[in-house]
């Protein structure tokens, strides 16, 4: 245990960030390197609970509570408090293939479940995780681990997001020859084209891909499975295949005027912005928010990333519409510990918008009724109405329009960020795997599809989720694949 009285002596110290107006001038990560003494104090706050809820990932009401990959959190909290960083890294890498990703962008369900949360703010677990892995790279402790024996078995992985990368890493370490197919020009899935650079620097993703290549994993980029290479060809060449194609089919607005010029899917916008940053050519006209009145439809994290991107492109104004009311400042009775807290927070994008314009860009309980364009078909304005959340006779949540609350918003650019329908189906159909509710039909913990030798993991199986779940599924699925290939498995 860190310091028996640590949680009584030290308060939680929040992540130190760069100043919002400063960071809007560039695309670098918005957080700073956290000072070592602060991290040690936070490690000292850990109580080394007999039942560490932080460490055991379960799902409550559809959300993660505790760490889905079973990170050995109390152990590395203690080691960091004692300054034993190398030992902390060894413990961290036992459960997490890519702590440099989760340490930066995981919503940290571990912290929502931390026992200290019962009486005050949780241990800053995520900051400690990031510091351990960053120190590992800085000190050269992370080196390629090249397997010294090969099994002769070949595995193909379709999709190079965190699920595909985690599965590839595990199977490569087990001695199998792994090839990852990716349709994009870079590996990483949403780590590369999705999550903006200011949350997760693309050099951090690239560094990991380089390491995986050095360890023997073959990446075949710019290759769409089902188009550039068929499922039959893969089945003939490989002993097992894992489908990690994600759940990137975006939900669209079905509104009058949707076809107006200037209305874009959030993902197209975010992908283009990252490509420009990386000096990669985009084939379609570049979507630039400079000097424009921008509205983001959708109150989630993807929408927040659009806000932060548009701010960096120097938009004229920015508003984000959310369907739901503002969240409470403290947990409601229906959202008790150890569930992930569903409370009002200031995400990085909202801090930045507030610093730039003096107010939070979020508008709550808004329903867009129609999109109006000018006589050239160019977007001109959005018409909205305020909604009231209530319940019907059966107790189901319903939304009612508030008469007289109609409003017109001038707009030059609109980003549609209302979530994802599920996996893209053509490639799944090409493999002949069963599909249920726009996801591959394969059980969590088993990952086998109805097609012999074909497995599925990550968002393609679970629906749009979190990086940490993708890593969990990639690791776990690798174990099942190893078992099916070898009759026993060495993987955790």
Ligand X SMILES: Cc1cc2nc3c(=O)[nH]c(=O)nc-3n(C[C@H](O)[C@H](O)[C@H](O)COP(=O)(O)OP(=O)(O)OC[C@H]3O[C@@H](n4cnc5c(N)ncnc54)[C@H](O)[C@@H]3O)c2cc1C
Sheet of 240-243, strands arranged across = 218-220, 177-181, 154-158, 240-243, 454-456
Contacts to ligand SF4 from residues 286-325, by CB under 6 A: none
Would you say 214 and 146 are in contact if contact means Cβ atoms under 8 Å apart?
A: yes
Please state, in angstroms and rounded to a whole number, the distance separating the CA atoms of residues 273 and 287. 8
Q: H/E element holding 425?
A: helix 425-431
Number of chain positions touching ligand X (CB under 6 A): 40
Q: What are phi and psi of 34, to 5 degrees?
A: -85, 140
| Total residues interacting with ligand SF4, rule: CB under 6 A | 15
The one segment of 2-10, 42-50, 182-190, 253-261 that binds ligand X by CB under 6 A: 182-190
Which one of ligand SF4, ligand X, none interacts with residue 116, CB within 5 to 8 A by kind?
ligand SF4
Interacting residue with ligand X among 72, 73, 132, 184 (CB under 6 A): 184
Q: Applying CB under 6 A, does 65 fall inside the site for ligand X?
A: no
Closest CA to 57 of 108, 20, 125, 3: 108
- Which residues on neighbouring strands pair with residue 398, listed in sequence order? 390
Determine phi and psi for 263, rounding to 5 degrees.
Answer: -105, 120
Q: Which does 480 bind (CB under 5 to 8 A by kind): ligand SF4, ligand X, none?
A: none
Concatenated DSSP letters of 155-213: EEEE--SHHHHHHHHHHHHTT-EEEEE-SSSSSSGGGTTTS-TTTS-HHHHHHHHHHHH
* Residue 205 binds ligand X (CB under 6 A): no
> Taking CB under 6 A as the rule, does residue 246 contact ligand X?
yes
Q: Rule CB under 6 A: is residue 245 a binding residue for ligand X?
A: yes
Shortest CB 41 distance to ligand SF4, Å: 14
**Quick one: tokens of 115?**
């026992």
Q: Does 194 bind ligand X (CB under 6 A)?
A: yes
When asked if residue 303 is in the footprint of ligand X (CB under 6 A), the reply is no
- Residue 109 binds which entry of ligand X, ligand SF4, none, CB below 5-8 Å type-dependent: none
Helices vs. strands in the chain: H and E counts, helices first: 17, 20
Q: Which of 123-144 are b and which e, b meaning 16 or more Cβ less than 10 Å from the residue's Cβ?
A: bbbbbbbbbbbbbbeeeeebee
Name the token pair of 41.
Answer: 């104090």
In this complex, which beta carbon is closest to ligand SF4, that of residue 122 or of residue 158? 122
Task: Look at residue 318 and give its three-state secondary structure.
Answer: strand
Q: Is the separation of the CB atoms in 168 and 477 below 8 Å?
A: no
Would you say 82 and 76 are in contact if contact means Cβ atoms under 8 Å apart?
A: no
Q: Is residue 114 a contact residue for ligand SF4 (CB under 6 A)? A: yes
Residue 243 lies near ligand SF4 (rule: CB under 6 A): no
Question: Measured from the CB atom, is 7 or 193 closer to ligand X?
Answer: 193
- Determine, following the binding rule CB under 6 A, whether residue 466 of this chain makes contact with ligand X: yes
Mark residues 19-48: x for contact with ligand SF4 by CB under 6 A, - for none: ---------------------------xxx
Q: How far is the CB of 286 from ligand X (least distance, A)?
A: 18
- Exactly one of 64, 69, 133, 225 binds ligand X (CB under 6 A); that residue is 225
Q: Which of ligand SF4, ligand X, none is residue 459 near (CB under 5 to 8 Å by kind)?
A: ligand X
- Residues near ligand X (CB under 6 A) are 105-106, 158-164, 181-184, 189-190, 194-195, 199, 224-226, 244-246, 248, 270, 301-302, 305, 424, 427, 458-460, 464-468, 470
- Residues near ligand SF4 (CB under 6 A) are 46-49, 52-54, 73-74, 77, 114-116, 123, 125
């Amino acid at each position: 245990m860190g310091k028996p009285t640590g949680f009584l002596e030290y308060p939680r110290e929040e992540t130190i960030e760069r100043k919002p107006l400063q960071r809007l001038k560039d695309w670098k990560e918005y957080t700073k390197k956290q000072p070592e003494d602060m991290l040690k104090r936070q490690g000292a706050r850990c109580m080394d609970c007999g039942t560490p809820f932080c460490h055991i990932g379960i799902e409550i009401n559809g959300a993660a509570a505790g760490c889905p990959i079973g990170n050995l959190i109390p152990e590395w909290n203690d080691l960091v408090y004692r300054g034993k960083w190398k030992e902390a890294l060894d413990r961290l890498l036992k459960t997490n293939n890519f702590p440099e990703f989760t340490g930066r962008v995981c919503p940290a369900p571990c912290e929502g479940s931390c026992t200290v949360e019962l009486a005050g703010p949780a241990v800053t677990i995520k900051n400690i995780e990031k510091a351990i892995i960053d120190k590992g790279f800085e000190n050269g402790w992370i080196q390629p681990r090249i397997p010294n024996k090969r099994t002769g078995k070949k595995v193909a992985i379709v999709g190079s997001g965190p699920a595909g990368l985690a599965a590839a890493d595990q199977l490569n370490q087990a001695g199998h020859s792994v090839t990852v197919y990716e349709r994009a020009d870079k590996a990483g899935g949403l780590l590369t084209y999705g999550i903006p650079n200011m949350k997760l620097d693309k050099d951090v993703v690239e560094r990991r891909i380089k390491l995986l290549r050095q360890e023997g994993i073959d990446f075949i980029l710019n290759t769409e499975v089902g188009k550039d290479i068929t499922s039959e060809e893969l089945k003939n060449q490989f002993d097992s295949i894992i489908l990690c194609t994600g759940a990137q089919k975006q939900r669209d607005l079905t509104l009058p005027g949707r076809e107006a010029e200037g209305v874009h899917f959030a993902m197209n916008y975010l992908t283009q912005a990252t490509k420009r940053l990386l000096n990669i050519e985009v084939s379609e006209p570049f979507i630039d928010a400079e000097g424009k009145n921008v509205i983001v439809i959708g109150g989630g994290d993807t929408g927040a990333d659009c806000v932060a991107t548009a701010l960096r492109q120097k938009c004229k104004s920015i508003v984000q519409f959310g369907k739901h009311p503002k969240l409470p400042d403290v947990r409601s009775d229906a959202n008790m510990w150890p569930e992930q807290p569903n409370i009002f927070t200031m995400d990085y994008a909202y801090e930045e918008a507030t610093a730039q314009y003096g107010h939070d860009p979020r508008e709550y309980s808004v329903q867009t009724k129609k999109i109006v364009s000018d006589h050239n078909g160019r977007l001109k304005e959005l018409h909205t109405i305020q909604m009231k959340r209530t319940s019907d006779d059966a107790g189901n949540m319903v939304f009612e329009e508030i008469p007289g609350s109609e409003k017109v918003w001038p707009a030059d650019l609109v980003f549609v960020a209302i979530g994802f329908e599920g996996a893209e189906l053509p490639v799944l159909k090409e493999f002949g795997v069963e599909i249920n509710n726009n996801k591959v039909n394969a059980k969590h913990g088993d990952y086998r599809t109805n097609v012999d030798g074909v497995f599925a993991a990550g968002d393609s199986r679970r629906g749009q989720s979190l990086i940490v779940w993708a890593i969990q599924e990639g690791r776990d699925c690798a174990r099942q694949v190893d078992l099916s290939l070898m009759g026993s498995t060495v993987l955790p």
